[in-house]
Structure 1
Amino acid sequence: MHLTRTATVRTAAAGAAAVLATVALTACGPDISAPAESSDPNVLQAPSEESPSGEITIWDREGDLFTVFENTIAAFNEKYPDITVNHVAVDIDAKLQNTLITGTDVPDGVFLDDARVSSFTDFLWDLSDVLEPYAADIAPQKLAVNTAADGIYGIPFDLDPGLLYYNEAALTAAGVDATQIETYDDLLDAARAYQEKVPSARPIHLEQAPFLAQLQLEMYANQLGTSLGDEAGELRLDSPEYERILTFLDTVNDEGLGTRAEYLSPTDIGELENGNQVFYPWAIWFSFAPQQLLPETSGDWRAMELPAWEAGGARSGAMGGSSFVLPKDGENSDLAWLFYEFLMFDEAGYSAVWGPNEVYPNGLNTSIPSYLPAADPASPLFGEVEALGGQDLWEVATSAGAEIPAAGPIPTWWGGAVDYLGNDLQRMLDGDLEPAEVISQSTEQIQTNLIDRQ
């Protein structure tokens, strides 16, 4: 369900570990001395007034996060009493593009999938100056996905680390210790061992929806420090990293070790509940399933960092995510910046978002903050998850998040690539294509039909 808020997947010189070290050295908070203001009229500047006033219109999707953000407005107004927030639930995917093109009734701030930010940069403020005091303390992957050309066009919201969810009760009963899994080869061995004890099992989830399959593919690629597009937006699918990932998925399929189903479809849920599907490599937001959709096995599930592709490699990659963007035609986008600055970088704000609240009494546990001081493993914002056997998911997720490598910006053609790569991946699982054919065919189609036509 978190997918409806964040489902569509950062230029920073240091890796996540280096950034965490920086956070430790700046525990008292970022240096907020004002940078030199840019002369570029496309670069947003923060309000200079001591007590700014005005009215802002903020667009969010209808749903649980809308209510979470709505409930932060009172705390924001304690800090900025003269800013009125009009918070509106909107079908952003249907309405935003036309609104930006026509310039009519343009909102001051919008909640947007990371994968869509690059499509709208011509209409958005470059946020480089206002984000400068915080940039060193933002997860590198999130900073990179909001970077295009020489600007930063999104205020990072959530970090969605990939985790390996597993049915501990079912695996233990079969004599398989999931905690010994360190690499994807180990995962294959564990799946084989489980299937020997439970012949009906297809232990590992294989995603059947083309879009989600491509999103998961990018999670695996992020672990290996790559992505479909490089910093210049050039395609780099034809690589040893993607061949390795596709070969792994092909092996799972060919050996009958995978349950092929759409994410949390009735078939998927049924195979999770009956113990046939016991490994789910997915974003943190899968935690919704044992809490809401798996009553028979709720409490049996656990989460751990993803396996590494090789010993000592990264144990997580990002899968999906969202940010906030500020349209240039908004009347008071500079005031909207103050709202998002409060939500993401002020302790009172991010505690209201991820901490216990009216919607999530135990805290919002389907993502973690992308602002690293807020994602302190020692200072959890949400509590232990009963549906995961009382596990400390905060510690698992923040540790995994610290291992996510930096990546390249998401290119404007990423969504269109699903028609080729996402579909060809499914054809591979159908047995129609080999991994090398997926790479060669999708590379040619994406280059010819998407990139060369831009």
Structure 2
Amino acid sequence: MSKQLDALKQFDTFSSQYAISRRSFIKSSAAVGAFAAAGGLLAACGSPSTASVATGNATATEGTVTIWDRSGDLFQVFDATIESFNKKYPKIKVKHVSVDVDAKLPTTLNTGVNVPDGSFYEDNNLPTLASHYYDITDWIQPYVKDIVPFKLRVNTHNNRIVGIPWDLDPGLLYYREDMLQEAGVDPASIQTYDDLIAAAKKVQGKFGPSCKPIHLEQDPGLTQLWVEMFANQQGTSMVDANGKLQINSPAYLNIMNFLKSVRDQNLGTRALYYGPGDVAAIENNQVAFYPWAVWAVYGPDLLFKKTKGKWRAMPLPAWTKGGTRAAVMGGSSFIIPKKAKSPHLAWLFYEHLVFSKEGYTSVYGPNKIYPGGINTSIPSYLPALGTQLYKNSEGLGGQNLWQTVTSTVKDIPGNFYIAPWYNQAVPYFGTNVQRLLDGQLTPQQVLQKSSDDIQNKLIARQ
């Protein structure tokens, strides 16, 4: 009960915190009606690297290594990998510590006091503290060619790799198969976002005006993350390779026009992702389409009651006919601080966790915490995608989610850059998109105002 109360408190305060954590939100929102599923994992086979770097003992294989992870399910899953790691490295003691990473890591890295040897971190937070991360470019070379370009890019700063890619969170279109059948909509006919709007009209025509089939996100922080998924799908991001702001562009205008069209035609249910109102609408057959990251599967699997087993997943629609139907929404990685006492030991631990079969199987596959395995993301290390690691989803009627989501990986655009001020932009960009959904701003006004605000209030002040 105490855990449920703590989670509910997190949920109550979430909306006021703009620098959101995808992982924290999954955990807190689950308290509304069930419990959360974990994030995903990535990995592939490979032997430990002994490549050297400029500093640190690059050959050490004994000692103590301190690893930080968040409390809860992920901590337990990662903790379970230590046994197999110690079979490989019996002289390395892993001190696994449960901490509030988002709250503690920035201060710790900036002060340089009691820093861990390695830590979990959300991708959207990576750029801000990149100068404090250990350069692992040489160590990770044996695996680079097989890492999904998107994940390699977000862990690269100043042309050096400073993070170990972990989960890959592709976008999908979740849909109610039974509602589409009743409305005479063939899911295969939804090839573009225009097709999605047309399908939504048919579904609404069948189920009445109270059915507003497409989910529209209400939280500004999640809205910004959501929009970035749509942007990544079009091969762009808030900034380019040089850090230049590029929100006011045709790709983002496509997104704003789509959201405005859904709003203007009364085809969207606007709600906080898996909040009470959202779940109620879903269970009452008012929502039939949910374009979101793969981690939304925990709703059908663990949260929904009436509609469990009726949902299915497919690749996102394309922005243009024949265009890519793949994108990423969120993600996390591992970092090794520059001031770590045992950086090489931390690298060996993450190499085992992420790139060895023993490591990624123990985390991603069926385990004591998740008997069916973790299905809320997929590996970003390509050799691991050849074998299905988790069981089919009961919430999706037994659908092979693994096959559906891995089929999109090859088409995910890799040209994606996370701005160092990403979290600070939410009160401007995420909030302005909400004002569009309120009918207060036009698509072009959202982009112009957001660009001006970010340029003047964030970039110019750095």
TM over 0.5: yes
Over residues 330-356 of structure 1, what are the superposed CA-to-partner deviations in whole Å (9 max), with x where a residue is unaligned? 111210110110111111111111111
Q: How does 1:255-270 map to 2 (within 5 A)?
A: 255-270=265-280
- Contact 1:157/1:370, CA 8 A, preserved across alignment: yes
1:379-404 Cα deviation digits (max 9, x unpaired): 10011111101000000111122221
Match for 2:159: what amino acid? D
Hey, what's the Cα distance between the residues in 2 that align with 1:185 and 1:426?
21
Q: Which amino acid aligns with 2:270?
A: R
Residue 281 of structure 2, aligned match among 271, 274, 284: 271
Q: Distance in 2 between matches of 1:415 and 1:356?
A: 34
Q: What is the distance in 1 between the residues matched to 2:198 and 2:348?
A: 51
Write the letter of the residue equivalent to 1:58: I
Q: CA deviation at 1:65?
A: 1.1
Q: Which residue of 2 aligns with 1:287?
A: 297
Equivalent residue number for residue 219 of structure 1: 229
1:82 matched residue in structure 2: 91
Query: What is the percent sequence identity of the aligned residues?
Result: 50
How has the CA–CA distance of structure 1 residues 31 and 400 changed in structure 2, closer, same or farther, with 3 Å as cutoff? same
Residue in structure 1 matched with residue 369 of structure 2 by the alignment: 359
Q: How does 1:49-64 map to 2 (within 5 A)?
A: 49=60, 52-64=61-73
Question: Is the 8 Å Cα contact of residues 168 and 301 (structure 1) preserved in structure 2?
Answer: yes
The residue aligned with 1:395 is: 403
Find the counterpart in structure 1 of residue 15 from structure 2: none
Judge which range, 156-165 or 226-235, deviates more.
226-235
Structure 1 position 33, deviation (Å): 8.1
Q: Give the partner amino acid of 2:246.
A: R
RMSD between aligned residues = 1.8
1:303 corresponds to: 313
Determine which of 182, 190, 193 is the counterpart of 1:173: 182
- Which sections of structure 1, spanning at least 5 residues, go unmatched? 8-27
The alignment covers a number of residue pairs equal to: 425
Q: Which residue of the other structure, out of 117, 120, 133, is the alignment partner of 1:124?
A: 133
Partner Cα separation in structure 2 for residue 190 and residue 177 of structure 1: 9
AA aligned to 1:225 is G
Instruction: Tell whether the 8 Å contact from 2:127 to 2:418 is kept in structure 1 after alignment.
Output: yes
* Residue of structure 2 equivalent to 1:246: 256
Say whether the 8 Å CA contact 2:48–2:352 is kept in structure 1.
no
Aligned equivalent of 1:20: none
Matched, 1:186 2:176: no
SS at match of 2:420: coil
Partner of 1:408: helix, strand, or coil? coil
CA distance in 1 between partners of 2:252 and 2:168 (Å)? 23
SS in 2 for 1:86: strand
Per the TM alignment, residue 100 of structure 1 is displaced from its structure 2 partner at its CA by 1.3
Q: Using the alignment, how far apart are the partners of 1:433 and 1:193 within structure 2?
A: 28
**Matched residue, 1:3:** 22
Which of 384, 390, 398 is the matching residue for 1:382? 390
Contact map agreement 1:117 1:153 (CA 8 A) in 2: no
| Structure 1 counterpart of 2:241, from 227, 231, 248 | 231
Change (3 A) 1:333 1:318: same
TM-score scaled by structure 1? 0.90
Q: Which residue of 1 aligns with 2:381?
A: 371
Tell me the distance in 2 between the aligned counterparts of 1:279 and 1:79: 46
Unaligned runs of 5+ in 2: 1-6, 8-20, 27-43
1:137 has 2:126 as partner? no
The one of 101, 113, 127 equivalent to 2:122 is 113
Correspondence for 1:427 among 435, 438, 443: 435
CA contact (8 A) 1:46 1:130 kept: no
- Distance, in Å, in 2 between the alignment partners of 1:105 and 1:30 is 31
- Checking the alignment, whether the CA contact within 8 Å between 2:67 and 2:117 is kept in structure 1 is yes
The residue that corresponds to 1:329 in the other structure is 339
Alpha-carbon contact 1:148-1:409 (below 8 Å) kept: no
Contact 1:229 1:410 in 2 (8 A): yes
Q: 1:357 and 1:83, CA in 2 relative to 1: closer, same or farther beyond 3 A?
A: same
Question: Quick check: 1:316–1:400 contact (8 Å CA) kept in 2?
Answer: yes
In structure 2, what residue type is equivalent to 1:203? P
